[in-house]
Amino acid sequence: MIKRTIIIEDDLDDRCDNVREALRDDFISWLKDNMDVDDFNLYREGQGGDVRAEISHSNTPDREDIIKGLFYLYGKDFEYEYEGAGGGRGTEANHKQLTINYYLSAKAEDYMVELHVQFDEAESMIELLNELTN
């Protein structure tokens, strides 16, 4: 019997961090231009959804070895988000990649909720801006 060792590049945490940072940076940029806004949904409806999709897509791997490795490690979590979002039929040629995208999009939505809470709890937009940039 031959034993083989396989190394899997697990960069999911880095990808999730990148999604979070990119969304935060986009929100900070928007906030600087909209310091008088008192409703977070103006961000969400104005650009938050599109930006969330863009960011999750740009952080989804396109190399097959990384996709297969991440799916091997986290496939159940990816499938859960895919099914919960009403994804496709599960027969897409790029199904594994698509489930990773849905997972990253769900992480972006989680952070969007955190931003919303911070927005609502902030005494002022300047305080929020300082909190987000420090």
- In tens, the pLDDT along 44-92 reads 888 877 898 999 999 999 999 999 999 999 999 999 999 888 877 777 8
d(CA 51, CA 45): 10
Q: Is residue 116 part of a domain?
A: yes
Distance set, CA 124 to CA 15, 18, 129 (Å)? 31, 27, 9
- Measured CA to CA in angstroms, residue 79 lies from 74, 75, 94, 112 at distances of 9, 6, 13, 21
Number of domains in the chain: 1
Is residue 108 included in any domain, yes or no?
Answer: yes
Q: What is the pTM of this model?
A: 0.90
Structural domain includes residue 31: yes
Tokens of 120: 């609502």
- Domain membership flag for residue 117: yes
State which residues form the domain around 75: 12-133
Residue 89 lies in a domain: yes
Would residue 76 count as lying in a domain? yes
Residue 7 located in a structural domain: no
